[in-house]
Chains A and B, each alone.
Chain A
């Protein structure tokens, strides 16, 4: 199956299909999405009624559909770990503050996890399949698998798949207290050097149009996807990797680029460092979380990056690529884990 188009709102200037040139630099442990001018994608009257995450989700989805030239996909599948936090927080705070009195329905209605997928369906007036996965670091991968199965089952010829997560002040405060993030000023460009505990918070909205048939202008082929949960140790991770590639009929030497999910957390990055010395020792490796930060659906940013590198053939300096210059990137493996719990492998190749 093919990735025909993408739409990506992130802490970098990724919206509008601009090439990734210079990294936007942040100091501090919170990266925020660079929001576009929504008017080209959403009716201004509707923009005002939408929370930030809904706007980001809808705009990335619309950009993706526009690029593919598709008015109504056969299915809309979204993934989000935290859902619409801003509206959840708003309703919850008022409920606590006013002791279950004087509440209005808007925030409650927009707090449900499927609000973004539902809004896209509503704007497109689409009666087609619409589903939302909310499983922490597997949210995007579950949505992607659903889309891939729909294509396999001949239930759909094209599927819009996306992942959206936002940071809000309360969620950042809570996750900070849970010791997820680095303390003190740190540049996002330096997170891999600090060898300290914690990462930097990120967020994003990335959508993909998956199609069964090639269009002649696709980004890449999506050859395979595999997830595994709470592996017992490094040896199980290696077994999972070997089994996945064997099933795909691909050897490590066949892979031109591996995108790994290093996030600067000394503990969490150990497995990537170990693999760089073992299974990945002859591969060219790049990281991506200095660009988008860490969040449960960050792997959607990695898929956007992998697909973009394959199509453009360009590896801008911000990716810290150390392989041979001018090498054609035909096959990309993405390996990501979230908190050591949710591990995912995706394989992309040139069309």
Chain B
């Protein structure tokens, strides 16, 4: 039940690149992905910067090999999941039990919200093809079918922790001998529904976000998808490029403080981090890098920072929020940031926390400002 689970492949698409190599280049060169809205048609275009993938649905569909009428969330998912599977290059994969665990927050909402403009005044109107993939699970199935995965398929939706939960559920499916290989991660495209929802919460930054800065103003929303291919030790041994990275610890904890706000003590973050470290058999002092949740909201960063202080003081690992590059990609963020963390381990690199000007006065540590090659 505690055999190692290896990461055999990674795939990503985000505002800073359409694949792993492009994203790495942007991370090394400090190129953030936020800017003016071009793909999403929203009233807030002039006011709210977003971190969009720089391709139209037509262009994404071509890359994904899916119809351009499908949800952008599915198109993004397919591109990143396919890259991860190709990267893993598992021979005779059709003879193995293969799973696809994908997360997203609002399924095919990008299509549903257009459907609703016609449907709302008259329930007999609106093209059904725009609502047929509304369910979160439909987005997953479009991609699973295109990838030819059918042995175990599921979808997780727990808001911003969705794809972190998907990845460790995938690892547990391997440890419980239900599958041999799992593609796990998450996807989300920008939608008016989500943008307006976060806007009503008054936590969207009108400038580029500044996580862990004393004068932070909020988050920028982003979109994308990130997946890892997880394999059992037995499968890992058969691969030409033997995987070096192990998923050794994970934990899900509930802050149970407020529906949208973190507790001031960061109880949920503290319990999740300490639980994951304990599960891996490590000590806090063994950790070299924290890829922060780091959204840039007042509430998140102080709660998360307080949890880090409680767990790591006085020996702090290096840390940074890569949301300073990708924006907050919600259901995709755990997947995208897992891929960044794998790359950090493989290449011995630490990413900068962009735009950090004034460190938070209540925290005794400062995230990295520059790209570091160890």
Task: Say yes or no: is B140 at the interface (Cβ < 8 Å to chain A).
Answer: yes
The answer to whether A132 touches B157, judged by C-beta atoms less than 8 angstroms apart, is yes
CB distance from A203 to the nearest CB of B (A): 15
Among B113, B253, B254, chain A packs the most CB atoms within 10 A around the CB of B254
With a CB–CB cut-off of 8 A, which chain A residues contact B178? Answer: 145
With A93-B116, A96-B116, A174-B128: A135-B256 Cβ-Cβ less than 8 Å? no
With a CB–CB cut-off of 8 A, which chain A residues contact B158? Answer: 113-114, 117, 130-132
Distance between Cα atoms of A81 and B267 in the complex (Å): 30
With a CB–CB cut-off of 8 A, which chain B residues contact A227? Answer: 152
* Per-position 1/0 for B128-167, Cβ under 8 A of A: 1001100111101100110000111111111100000100
Main secondary structure of the interface of B (DSSP, over half): mixed
The answer to whether B132 touches A129, judged by C-beta atoms less than 8 angstroms apart, is no
The answer to whether A129 touches B157, judged by C-beta atoms less than 8 angstroms apart, is no
Task: Say yes or no: is B271 at the interface (Cβ < 8 Å to chain A).
Answer: yes
* Per-position 1/0 for A104-122, Cβ under 8 A of B: 1100111111110111011
Task: Say yes or no: is B169 at the interface (Cβ < 8 Å to chain A).
Answer: yes
Stretch at the interface among A146-154, A185-193, A257-265: A146-154
The answer to whether A112 touches B154, judged by C-beta atoms less than 8 angstroms apart, is no
Q: How many residues of A contact B (CB 8 A)?
A: 59
With a CB–CB cut-off of 8 A, which chain B residues contact A229? Answer: 144, 150-151, 153
The answer to whether B119 touches A170, judged by C-beta atoms less than 8 angstroms apart, is yes
Q: How many residues of B contact A (CB 8 A)?
A: 61
The answer to whether A81 touches B200, judged by C-beta atoms less than 8 angstroms apart, is no
Stretch at the interface among A16-24, A136-144, A281-289: A136-144
Task: Say yes or no: is A100 at the interface (Cβ < 8 Å to chain B).
Answer: yes
Closest to B117 in A: A96
CB distance from B218 to the nearest CB of A (A): 14
With a CB–CB cut-off of 8 A, which chain A residues contact B116? Answer: 92-93, 96
The answer to whether B120 touches A91, judged by C-beta atoms less than 8 angstroms apart, is no
Task: Say yes or no: is B201 at the interface (Cβ < 8 Å to chain A).
Answer: yes
The answer to whether B153 touches A121, judged by C-beta atoms less than 8 angstroms apart, is no
Task: Say yes or no: is B196 at the interface (Cβ < 8 Å to chain A).
Answer: yes
Distance between Cα atoms of A128 and B256 in the complex (Å): 9
With a CB–CB cut-off of 8 A, which chain B residues contact A93? Answer: 116, 120
Task: Say yes or no: is A71 at the interface (Cβ < 8 Å to chain B).
Answer: no
With a CB–CB cut-off of 8 A, which chain A residues contact B151? Answer: 229
Closest CB pairs A-B (n = 6)? A108-B197, A136-B137, A135-B137, A105-B200, A113-B157, A100-B43
* Residues on A facing B (Cβ under 8 Å): 76, 81-83, 91-93, 95-97, 99-101, 103-105, 108-115, 117-119, 121-122, 124-136, 138-139, 142, 145-146, 149, 152-153, 170, 173-174, 177-178, 227, 229-230, 341
Give me 8 other A-B pairs in contact (C-beta within 8 A), A129-B252, A138-B153 excluded: A96-B113, A96-B120, A103-B197, A114-B157, A124-B256, A131-B158, A132-B156, A145-B178
